Amino acid sequence: MGILSLISLWFIPILIGFILLYGTFKGVPTYESFVEGGKEGIKIAISIIPFLVGMLVAISVFRASGALDYLMEFIRPALKSIGVPAEIVPLAIIRPISGTAALGMTADLIAAHGPDSFIGRLASVLQGSTDTTFYVLTVYFGAVGIRKMGDALKVGLLADVAGIAAAILVVVYIWY
């Protein structure tokens, strides 16, 4: 495990060093190219603001009004009947919708049940193995102006369901 944390610590600086040396070696005007590419970054960041404002307002209204809690109460029995522990249900539901809320819930669950408990381990694996589909959809499609998403949302959410199921199965199989 020492090696893994070393890799994650060294990865970015080494990558940057490598890109710069490789570019110099190939005769790329590195600084000018960097600035050129960076300018695009500003344009993108500004252009996704309306997409995120719209989506985050809707999500936070939905959450603050208590509608999300109600939805969870509604879905909980169904999820519980297929073996999803009740404590983990809110996290599983919120994970595709809001990354920060999910992170908060993971921290809560780990604090309440202990990091090495069943719930703590399950929350850890679940948090690490799925992504915020709504965020990725909003930001990626918003930034390039895709209006008709086709099957993207359905595919993304079904993939999340698969991820949640996989996380539960793996944790149960490895530890319990």
Partner 1 sequence: MPMVNYIWVGMTIIGIIFGIANGTMDEVNKAIFKGAADAVTLCIGLISILVFWLGMMKIAEESGLLEKLSSFFRPVVKWLFPEVPVRHPAMGYILSNIIANMFGLGNAATPLGIKAMEQLKELNGGKDYASRSMVTFLAINTSSITLIPTTVIAIRMNYHSASPTEIVVPTLIATIISAICGILIDRYFYYRRSRKG
**Other residues' Cβ atoms within 10 Å of the Cβ of residue 155:** 12
Amino acid at the residue 22: Y
Beta carbon nearer to partner 1, 4 or 82: 4
Closest CA to 129 of 86, 91, 101, 155: 91
Beta carbon nearer to partner 1, 40 or 81: 40
Beta carbon nearer to partner 1, 49 or 86: 49
Residues 6+ positions from 52 with CB-CB distance below 8 Å: 138, 139, 142
* Min separation Cβ 126 and partner 1, Å: 8
Beta carbon nearer to partner 1, 89 or 135: 135
* Min separation Cβ 87 and partner 1, Å: 16
Beta carbon nearer to partner 1, 35 or 86: 35
**173, containing H or E segment:** helix 152-175
* Min separation Cβ 12 and partner 1, Å: 7
- Packing angle between helix 2-25 and helix 30-47, nearest 10 degrees? 120
* Min separation Cβ 86 and partner 1, Å: 20
Beta carbon nearer to partner 1, 82 or 150: 150
**Centroid of chain to Cα 100:** 9
Tell the residue number behind the tokens 């297929």, with chain if given: 82
Give the 3-state secondary structure of residue 151: coil
Angle at 174 between CA 168 and CA 176, to 5 degrees: 80
* Min separation Cβ 80 and partner 1, Å: 20
* Min separation Cβ 81 and partner 1, Å: 21
